[in-house]
Amino acid sequence: MRFAMNDHIQAVHEPPIGEVKRWAAARSVEGPPLIDLCQAVPDYGPPPELLAHLHAAVDDPLTCRYTPDEGLPEVRQAVCDRYRRRYDAKVQPDQFCLTVGASAAFWLAMLVLCQAGDEVILQLPCYFDHPMALQSLAIRPVYAPFGEGQRGLPDPAAIARLITPRTRAILLVSPSNPTGAVIPPDLLRELYFLARQHRVALVLDETYSDFIEGMPHDLFTLAGWHDTLVQVISFGKSYALTGYRAGLLAAAPAFIGQALKLQDTMTVCQPRITQLGLQYGLERLDDWVTANRLMMALRHDRFVTEFARPGNRFRLVASGSFFAWVRHPFAGRTGREVAQKLALDAGLLTLPGEVFGPGMEDYLRLAFGNIRDQAIPEAVGRFRSAG
Ligand SMILES: Cc1ncc(COP(=O)(O)O)c(C=O)c1O
């Protein structure tokens, strides 16, 4: 090319799922059939009544049109109602902006909060897209250390030590991708007050929160929550609509106002068809979501039991509804080397630990939420043979 490109973006590693899928494509045809533990996508589709609703919507020419940047008023109201049921939340529609996936909500949050050179604190191991986005924006990711003993849960004292005058946010993901760990409500409160005390934002990504039993936390019940909390969330996993890109940003109305300036220049609005699907889910699918949570919990129990059986040299460090974070037994070899060998020899697709932050080479992430109950013993058996 005869022109320069952005150095910050060139320094970011390529999207890891694509890399792993290439290993899968390079396998010999004689190998065992592939078991995909790589990308976090529910293995089931949306319920037929949601699909029928979308089908009917496609025939309406209005569905082809833009909506207001922030989303249709009735959909934001449905979000409000659901947050009141789920979080006992003190919320109003003007605290929500519908986005193109949680991914776009995260970009909006970071662009509103930070300028190049600012810092955001992330808990290791962290969701790979977060540092990729930060580095692209020349925002410095500052990593809070990972302790196996704490199973990847954040330590407020360790995070406090990382706060500097350039810190703009403490970024947390609960349940965590990649460890599956859920931050207990008391710990989350402590981190919220730490952020508040230091006048930085607590940015909370709750993409998997519908897989938590009961109320995930009480931060939305606090008066003035939006002076500190910025929430990024996806409904893609909740309603099995990942391809529809159903995300949301929850924050103070003044914050949403800034985010909408960006959204207007970027995606304008969440597609109307997505909003219609989301509204249907929010208003009518609470029981369906609960049933899937219970199914995922059973899958998790089965996975943990199988993984703990004797003869497995891979060690489960942390796990939750969708994910397991595992230490591989090959000292001195990187997660990438081990994951590639598992893909080629055992037909197991996993993600190498190092894509989840510096120093994570001894680990792998397994997204067992992708595979059916019956497939779990076979998948775990392959780890036992490979170790
Ligand atoms: C923690 C976390 N945040 C955000 C996302 C992205 O969500 P969306 O597909 O809605 O952009 C994912 C997707 O896997 C995720 O794991």
Domain extent listing, the chain: 7-45+288-386, 64-284
As a dihedral over the C-alpha atoms of residue 314, residue 315, residue 317, residue 322, rounded to 10 degrees, the angle is: 50
Query: Six-digit token pair at 228?
Result: 């500190």
Q: Is the pLDDT of residue 30 over 80?
A: no
CB 274 within 8 A of CB 241: yes
Ligand 1 within 6 A of 356 CB?
no
Strand locations in 126-270 (E): 140-144, 167-173, 201-205, 229-234, 246-250
Contact by Cβ (8 Å): 371, 35: yes
Name the residue type at position 348.
L
pLDDT at position 380 over 80: yes
Indicate the residue type of 132.
M
| Per-residue exposure over 179-210, b if at least 16 CB sit within 10 Å of its own CB, e if not | bbbbbeeebbebbbebbbeeebbbbbbbbbbb
Ligand 1: distance of its center to the CA of 375 in Å? 25
Range with the lowest mean pLDDT among 161-170, 249-258, 269-278, 296-305? Answer: 296-305
Which of 106, 172, 177, 203 for a ligand 1 pocket mutation test, highest count of atoms within 8 Å of Cβ?
Answer: 177
Q: How far is the CA of 102 from the centre of ligand 1 (A)?
A: 5
State which amino acid sits at residue 11: A
Average pLDDT, the chain: 96
Task: Using the mean position of ligand 1's atoms as its centre, give its distance from the Cα of residue 208 in Å.
Answer: 8
On the question of pLDDT at 151 being above 90, the answer is no
CATH of 64-284, one of 3.40.720.10, 3.30.300.130, 3.50.50.60, 3.40.640.10: 3.40.640.10
Fold match, 7-45+288-386 / 64-284: no
Q: What is the token pair recorded at 48?
A: 């037929």
Q: What is the DSSP letter of 60?
A: S
Q: How many angstroms separate the Cα of 28 from the Cα of each of 19, 219, 343, 384?
A: 17, 51, 11, 21
3-state secondary structure of 152: coil
d(CA 364, CA 61): 47
Q: Say if ligand 1 is within 6 A of residue 42 CB.
A: no
Cβ 120 under 6 angstroms from ligand 1: no
Instruction: For ligand 1, say whether the CB of 99 is within 6 Å of any of its atoms.
Output: no
Protein residue with least CA distance to atom 9, ligand 1? 101
For 100-110, give one letter per residue: b (16+ CB within 10 A) or e.
bbbbbbbbbbb
| The pLDDT of residue 43 | 86
Least confident of 115-124, 272-281, 376-385: 376-385
The domain defined by 7-45+288-386 carries CATH number 3.90.1150.10: yes
Q: Write out the two tokens for 195.
A: 């952020």
C-alpha–C-alpha distance, residues 131 and 177, integer Å: 13
pTM of the model: 0.96
Ligand 1 center to 30 CA (angstroms): 34
Say if residue 28's pLDDT is above 80: no
- Measured in whole angstroms, the distance separating CA 347 from the mean position of its chain's CA atoms is 25
Structure tokens belonging to residue 266: 């970027």
Distances (CA, A) of 9 to 116, 131, 260: 13, 11, 24
Please tell me the residue having the least CA distance from ligand 1 atom 1.
177
Residue nearest to ligand 1 atom 4, measured at CA: 102
Q: How far is the CA of 242 from the centre of ligand 1 (A)?
A: 9
Antiparallel, parallel or unpaired: β 201-205 and 229-234: parallel
β-pairing verdict for 363-366 and 324-327: antiparallel
110-143 confidence digits (pLDDT tens):
999 999 999 999 999 999 999 999 999 999 999 9
In whole angstroms, what is the distance from residue 74 CA to residue 94 CA?
12
Atom of ligand 1 nearest to the CA of 236: 10
The two tokens of residue 258 are: 């800034």
For the cut 80, the answer to whether the pLDDT of residue 21 exceeds it is: yes
Amino acid letter at 324? Answer: A
Confidence bin at 378 (pLDDT 50/70/90): very high
CA of 163 to the centre of ligand 1 (A): 26
- From ligand 1's centre to the CA of 192, what distance in Å? 22
Give the H/E segment covering residue 13. Answer: none
- Eight-state DSSP code of residue 288: H
Q: What is the DSSP string of 305-318?
A: HHHHSTT--SEEEE
Q: Is 40 in the pocket of ligand 1 (CB under 6 A)?
A: yes
Centre of ligand 1 to C-alpha 279, Å, is: 19
| Tokens 């533990």 belong to residue | 37
Percent of the chain with pLDDT over 70: 100
- Please give the pLDDT value at position 127: 97
Mutation test of ligand 1: which of 97, 234, 323 has the most ligand atoms closer than 8 Å to its C-beta? 234
DSSP state of 115: -
Question: What is residue 171's predicted lDDT score, i.e. its pLDDT?
Answer: 98
